Chain A
Amino acid sequence: MIRLLDPTAETAPQMRARRERPPRLEGTIALLDINKPRGDEFLDRLEELLAERGLRVERFRKPRFSQIAPTELKQQIAARCAVVVEALAD
């Protein structure tokens, strides 16, 4: 019997159920710009459309698209907004 040492981190990803899609948009909507070129164009237009519906919008921005969002940023969004729209662009 050949015995090997595990080369992995020996952690299993935690599976969590996706949150229910909100039945209607209400509360503050977060628009997160990941800092890719032209992501702001897409989010500007979304903001206009959401404002037409009388919804409140808060804008957020990741420092760099190539780095994961800082924890503080994620906490801010979670604390202040009901829904987040994240824009990828180029």
Chain B
Amino acid sequence: MHELPEGLLAIVKRDCPTCALVTPVLARLAAERAATVAYEDDEPGLELSFRVGTEIVPTLVRLSSGREVGRVFGWNREEWRAFTGIADLGAELPANRPGCGSRTLEPGMPAKLAVRYGTAAFKSKTIEVPQGMDEAEWCFEQGWTDGLPIVAPTEERVYAMLQGTRRRSDALLGAIPPNFAECTVEKAAINAVMAGCKPEYLPVVLTAIEAALLPAFGLHGILATTNAVGPVIMVNGPIARAIGMNAKGNALGQGNRANASIGRALQLVVRNVGGGRPGEIDRAVFGNPGKYTFCFAEDESDPRWESFAVERGFSRNASTVTLFPGDGVNPVIDHVSRRPEDLVKTYAGCLRALYNPGQVNDVSAFLVVAGEHANVFYEAGWSKARLRVALLERLWVSMDEVVEGRSGKLQMNAEELGQPRAPKFRTGSLNIVRAGGAAGKYSAIISGLGSKGINPVIKEIQP
């Protein structure tokens, strides 16, 4: 590390015309004021420039005991004269010339320099990839991946990722099951890099991790169960649009970087920080492809239905993460119904069969309504609440069917067992949201667990 000089320090770079213009001025300052002239093109000039936080060259900084007491930048004759106390400084030069951008701010440089000069202070252990080894292959060998290649978490990339949040890198998000290992913002950022996130996605990832740790969500159970579920992330509010998430065509599919990498980041945190791996604590019989990543934004472009977040008491301007345990997408295809009453029959039939037609415990659903189906309800003036009531009225399972073929006891009290029927979502919930493309009469059901200990949760995103 190079010490900052005392007195005047001029930061310049060779291909800057204004820096070339002020060369005689710098020579005079060096002679008369013992100014140090540092070229960003070389060392230690680049380090000195980084340490004083140069944005524009030329910059003239006055330092006293390593602290800045003032600066001028670009070339302005009157400013430079006042700053240096030399009344005839630069008499031969034009009165004013703008400067150029500093090398320290070129793309990728802030992270590179922060790592090189030690201002990026990481708590995590650094590990060197053996010489000649491909880093992607090496990361596979460490057991750090979900089976797909990851982006190598270099210090520069993690530093850049951490610029996406105002939170301290050592702030704790909570303890990740199954090992209940503490996860810091830094560990989350490392895994977000690996997942392919951009820094602006990090606030969503951090909140998704916090939401996953809410007791109501039951992450340990979701992870350990033989069931197929994994965490599904739904994002509401302005941040979804700001970071370019997809709520429209193919919203539940591939192709959008934010959707894909945010969901993957949460899974990698569970794997790497929590130690949750298939075949170990993750006892899923099948799993589902969404356990690589399952994340989408709710379509809030039509105000006729309140969004899920607004239903849960958040403002339209709030950005939130909803997490629910989901196990796959069941498409609902109905090209012919034109009345809400008919679509309700279609939906109810599909919802009724989830898991098995007689199952009323431990099952939940998110019904995702796409554009043309939504229009059927909009045009008939049906609110989302009305649709839910109409569906729940149809979603009863006769007790004969609930118990038929089941030799054992159900977890129901005697009074319930004495009833002629039970609600399909006896322990779970039916949630209705909007997403998907404009063309085509489709909806989709994301089924999942819903019980006393495992439920959807929602949390507001903090920057």
What's the Cα separation between A4 and B193 when bound, in Å?
11
Tell me which residues across on chain B come within 8 A of A13, comparing CB atoms. 179, 275
The answer on a CB contact under 8 Å between A37 and B452 is no
Binary contact readout A36-78 vs B (1 if CB under 8 angstroms, 0 otherwise): 0110010000000000000000000000111110000000000
**Nearest-Cβ distance from residue A1 to partner chain B, whole angstroms:** 5
Q: Check A5/B225 contact, CB under 8 A, given A10-B124, A64-B453, A67-B218.
A: no
Q: Are A4 and B453 in contact (CB under 8 A)?
A: no
Residues of A within 8 A of B454 (CB): 66
- Kindly list the 3 A-B residue pairs having the minimum CB-CB distance in the complex, ordered from nearest: A66-B221, A9-B181, A64-B453
Contact of A7 among B129, B187, B224 (CB under 8 A): B187
> Could you give, for residues 408-442 of chain B, a 1 whenever the CB lies within 8 Å of some chain A CB and a 0 otherwise?
11110000000000000000000000000000000
Give, as a whole number of angstroms, the nearest-CB distance from B361 to chain A: 8
Pairwise interchain contact A4-B129, C-beta atoms closer than 8 A: yes
Q: Are A5 and B275 in contact (CB under 8 A)?
A: no
Question: With contacts A5-B125, A5-B190, A7-B194 known, is A66 near B218, CB below 8 A?
Answer: yes
Q: Looking at chain A's contact residues, is the secondary structure mostly helix, strand, loop, or mixed?
A: loop
Partner of B273, one of A9, A41, A68: A9
Flag whether B451 is at the interface (Cβ < 8 A): yes
Q: Are A6 and B154 CB-contacts (below 8 A) given A1-B131, A67-B453?
A: no
* Apart from A3-B129, A7-B194: 16 A-B pairs, beta carbons within 8 A: A2-B135, A2-B152, A3-B127, A5-B186, A6-B124, A7-B273, A9-B181, A9-B272, A9-B273, A37-B408, A41-B409, A64-B218, A66-B220, A66-B221, A68-B177, A68-B220
Query: B176 contacts which chain A residues (CB < 8 A)?
Result: 9
B residues contacting the other copy or chain, number (CB 8 A) = 46
Give the distance in Å from the alpha carbon of A2 to the alpha carbon of B125 in the complex: 14
Q: Whose C-beta in chain A lies nearest to the C-beta of B215?
A: A67
Interface centre among A2, A13, A38, A41 (most CB of B within 10 A): A2
Asked if B126 CB lies within 8 Å of chain A CBs, one says: yes
- Whole-angstrom distance between the alpha carbons of A67 and B214 in the complex? 13
8 sampled A-B residue pairs with Cβ under 8 A: A5-B125, A7-B187, A8-B144, A8-B272, A9-B187, A9-B272, A11-B181, A66-B224
Check: B35 CB closer than 8 A to any chain A CB. Answer: no
Bound-complex Cα distance A62 to B350 (A): 34
Binary per-residue interface labels of chain A (9-22) against chain B in the complex, 1 for a CB within 8 Å, 0 otherwise? 11101000000000
Known A7-B268, A64-B452; contact A37-B122, beta-carbon cutoff 8 A? no
Closest Cβ of chain B to A73, distance in Å, is: 15
Collect the chain A residues with CB atoms within 8 Å of residue B153's CB.
4-5, 7
With contact pairs A38-B409, A64-B453 given, residues A5 and B221 touching in the complex (Cβ less than 8 Å): no
Given A9-B182, A37-B408, A66-B221: A4 and B273 interface contact (C-beta under 8 Å):
no
Whether B128 contacts A5 by the Cβ 8 Å rule is no
A88 CB to closest chain B CB (Å) equals 10
Q: Which residues of B contact A65 (CB under 8 A)?
A: 221
Closest-CB distance, A87 to chain B (whole angstroms): 14
In the complex, whether B191 has a CB less than 8 A from a CB of chain A is: yes
Q: How far is the CB of A39 from chain B (nearest CB, A)?
A: 10
Is the CB–CB distance between A1 and B125 below 8 Å? no
Q: Does B158 contact A (CB under 8 A)?
A: yes
